[in-house]
Amino acid sequence: MVFKRDRLEQFKKQKKEPAKKRHTIMLVDDEEPNLKILSVLLGGSYNIMTAMSAEEAMEMIEAMDNPEEKLSLVMCDQRMSGMTGVSFFEKINNKIPKTKRILVTGYLDMEALISSINEAHIYKFIMKPFNRADLMLSVKRAIEAYEMEKQLEDHVKNLEEKVRSRTRELEVKNRALEDANQALEAASLTDPLTGLKNRRFLLKHLETDIAMVRRKHRDARGERVKNGDLLFFLMDLDHFKAVNDTYGHAAGDQVLLQVRELLELVFRESDFLVRWGGEEFLVIARFVKRESGAFLAERIRQAVEAHPFRISEERTIRKTCSIGFAPFPFFLDKLDGLNWSQVVDVADACLYAAKYSGRNAWVGMQANAETSVDGFMQHILETPEMLIENQLVDLMSSLDDPPKIRWKKADH
């Protein structure tokens, strides 16, 4: 089967047959009898394209879409008018690098032979006059080499695509696993009812803030630190048990959810809001002035008191809260005097003082120049009145008469 140049367009549009691929060979020679002989020899097994010069062959290759897929072999005579076979192969090397090349010559030109092997990347060098059987075998081997390389390339591409596909699948699974792990981690640090942080979150994250606060105060060398404190607020809803007993636990849950909304209105996103247990909440206002404790505590108290807690479509109820607070560091002259857990204990003592003194109130405490670290926690837990009476701490409260604050539950 022989194709002249005028049949190139018809060849380009030729549909692939479902049978085994019939390879195409381009024959390039400036002597037409040579082209006819080679076409007859090879045309029974292969598609044949012919060109009378290297320049014509280059034009035909340039006109093809994806010529490397369409041309399995190019056979070219070495000595032609115009461009030589070696020069032709060198020029088409970048265009069709995988297509096999056979150089045919009637001259034993070693320089051309070496050049063609090194520069033109030929597959075979055939001398004229050629033996028909040798020629057919050389062409067959060249086509087989082309086919094997193509199959190997397709196999490698297929493997690479499988690897890419598998990699994408693994990436998706890894992302899903990471998301699941993050969700589990978040769940382990979050109160399931309110969505606020829990004690585990505090244990995991608070130490970083504690270290930063201590470093700021140490670097200040006795000077006041702007926004260098942590304020610990413990808030407890007053008579919350009555909500559960009267309206049911679902109503109590609704109240707790709305407390979260109120706390989020009072505090910043960067502050830690923690459900401490039951109806008790712990808030850590981060990197603030300790003097702002009273202001923030009053905002909490007012927000809860003014809010109509909706427990069903038909009913709202009113609630109040009690609050205790204390700053960290508690002692400015002894930064390690109390750890953060002990500061929470101080805030807890203040919280119960607010409750014992009538509820719907807040009480706060901080050290002054007379406060001693020695025995302080024992006094807070056992005899806080002594500290107050002797002005060994500074006390703040929303109550009208702080000296009459009750630190223990009244006997009945």
User: What's the rounded Cα separation, in Å, for the pair 72 and 66?
Assistant: 12
User: What's the rounded Cα separation, in Å, for the pair 262 and 196?
Assistant: 12
**Which one, of 357, 201, 214, lies nearest residue 283 by Cα?**
201
Known catalytic residue: 111? no
E strand map for 37-84: 47-51, 73-77
Q: Which tokens hold the place of 213?
A: 């606060």
Please tell me which residue in 90, 161, 178, 279 is annotated as part of the active site: 279
14 DSSP 8-state letter: P
Q: Which tokens hold the place of 356?
A: 């014992």
CA trace torsion 60, 66, 72, 78 (10° rounding): 40
**Which one, of 130, 151, 153, 144, lies nearest residue 23 by Cα?**
144
326 sits in which H/E element = strand 321-328
Q: Which tokens hold the place of 81?
A: 């008018």
User: What's the rounded Cα separation, in Å, for the pair 30 and 345?
Assistant: 103
Per-residue b or e along 263-289, where b marks 16 or more CB atoms closer than 10 Å to that residue's CB: beebbeeebbbbbbeebbbbbbbbbbb
Catalytic residues: 279
